[in-house]
């Protein structure tokens, strides 16, 4: 496949996927909501190494936004996204219409129970039901052999991996490292909402995470001490910041951790002005 193929109709992508499977080609999927950045492109490049064909999906999913959230103003740049995907080596782009993915009579949703009850699930009720539903639909349409997600959305990656296992999809699940700006800020489509002054304060999240990791390497294991240090760093370096949560969890199970041990992840959500940012780091 030398040229990028853009599919918009669900039936067209299903037909294409069936043809690729008949030809013996393996398929990787990179689900996105568009407004692509280097984090997304790194997944596409990784996908090229894992499968014959990479299908990038571009769809701003209304089911994962609450009524008060930013669905209508979420950044969209389909023309720019297509060019970025082409340069990254993507071969197929699936850009479905919202009304086709969720017609008026749509009434079926997918829930993953326990992993959605904390952190982002607690702060954004219903969010993950929208995520698991759209990814289920995309898996069924694209029929991938490999699915690639970023560690930046740690909880999302863990629950989608759990869903894939529980529903017996024969899909290799790949979680790739978080891509960061030079000052450590995790790449995100929402970063473009930050004014210059807010952007200067945003690296506070990364600074608090690296401080937590250093504390652990220096021998600190008490979760309360580590979280306390993270809170102080954010208050000092980002005066405008409002902390939604800071949590320590075990990597795979996401169970809360009070004493840091192997495979502990620190996660946090912080609002910098009007922009809500999330980040995480494996600190042990």
Nearest of 266, 267, 268, 263 to residue 284 by alpha carbon = 263
Pairwise CA distance, residues 203 & 20, whole Å:
43
Nearest of 207, 190, 189, 119 to residue 157 by alpha carbon = 119
Q: What is the largest CA-CA distance in the chain?
A: 58
Pairwise CA distance, residues 62 & 87, whole Å:
28
Q: Which residues of 108-143 are buried (b: 16+ CB within 10 A; e: fewer)?
A: eebebeebbebbbbeebeebbbbbbbbbbbbbebbb
Return all residues near 57 (Cβ < 8 A) that are at least 6 apart: 29, 30, 31, 32, 93, 94, 95, 96, 138, 142
57: tokens are 């999906």
CB 173, CB 167: distance < 8 Å: no
* Residue among 40, 68, 114, 127 flagged as catalytic: 40
Nearest of 108, 41, 35 to residue 71 by alpha carbon = 35
Pairwise CA distance, residues 104 & 77, whole Å:
26
State the burial class of residue 181 (Cβ atoms within 10 Å of its Cβ: 0-12, 13-18, 19+): middle
> Does 40 qualify as catalytic in the annotation?
yes
Nearest of 203, 188, 199, 197 to residue 156 by alpha carbon = 188
* Residues marked as catalytic: 40
């Amino acid at each position: 496949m030398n040229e990028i193929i853009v599919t918009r109709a669900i039936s067209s992508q299903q037909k294409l996927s069936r043809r690729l499977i008949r030809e013996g080609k393996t398929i990787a999927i990179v689900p996105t909501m568009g407004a692509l950045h280097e984090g997304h492109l790194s997944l596409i490049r990784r996908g090229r190494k894992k499968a014959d064909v990479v299908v990038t999906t571009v769809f701003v999913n209304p089911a994962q936004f609450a009524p008060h959230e930013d669905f209508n103003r979420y950044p969209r740049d389909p023309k720019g996204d297509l060019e970025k995907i082409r340069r990254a080596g993507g071969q197929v782009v699936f850009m479905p219409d919202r009304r086709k993915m969720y017609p008026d009579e749509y009434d079926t949703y997918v829930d993953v129970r326990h992993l959605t009850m904390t952190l982002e699930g607690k702060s954004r009720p219903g969010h993950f039901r929208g995520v698991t539903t759209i990814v289920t639909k995309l898996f069924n349409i694209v029929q991938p052999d490999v699915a690639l997600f970023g560690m930046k959305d740690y909880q999302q990656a863990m629950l989608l991996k759990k869903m894939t296992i529980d529903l017996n999809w024969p899909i290799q699940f790949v979680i790739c490292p978080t891509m960061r700006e030079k000052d450590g800020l995790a790449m995100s489509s929402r970063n473009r909402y930050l004014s210059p002054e807010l952007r200067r304060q945003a690296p506070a999240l990364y600074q608090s995470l690296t401080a937590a990791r250093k504390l652990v390497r220096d021998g600190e294991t008490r979760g309360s001490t580590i979280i306390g240090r993270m809170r102080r760093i954010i208050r000092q370096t980002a005066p405008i910041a409002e902390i939604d949560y800071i949590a320590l969890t075990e990597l795979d199970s996401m169970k809360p951790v009070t004493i840091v041990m192997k495979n502990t992840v620190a996660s946090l959500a912080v609002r910098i002005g009007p922009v809500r940012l999330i980040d995480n780091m494996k600190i042990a």
